[in-house]
Amino acid sequence: MKKDIHPEDYRVVIFKDMSNGHRFLSRSCSPSSETESWEDGSEYPLVKLDISSESHPFFTGKMQFVDTAGRIDKFKNRYGKNLKKS
């Protein structure tokens, strides 16, 4: 295996699924400026997720529409004039 390719600054962080509020604790080197309290009373950095295993249709077996960033509107605004030519 190659040496010195992995970051050294791993720490415990809270990942929070913003579509349903599910949280889990894991180790990561993802940057975060926010913190949140965990069940043990300690403060950990908070990393917000758009989707996780608790809200992804593959894992839940249900289709649910999650469009937190307005992706469809952004697509239509960007490419809408090209779509009308057809």
pLDDT above 60: residue 86:
no
The pTM for the full model equals 0.62
* Pairing label, strands 23-28, 43-49: unpaired
For the record, the structure tokens of 84 come out as: 């009308």
Q: What is the pLDDT of residue 59?
A: 57
Q: Which amino acid type is present at position 78?
A: R
Digit-coded pLDDT (tens) for 35-67: 999 999 999 999 998 877 777 655 566 665 556
pLDDT digits (tens, 9 = 90+) for 3-40: 888 888 899 999 998 888 889 999 999 999 999 999 99
pLDDT at position 56, please? Answer: 62
The single residue listed with the structure tokens 């952004």 is 74
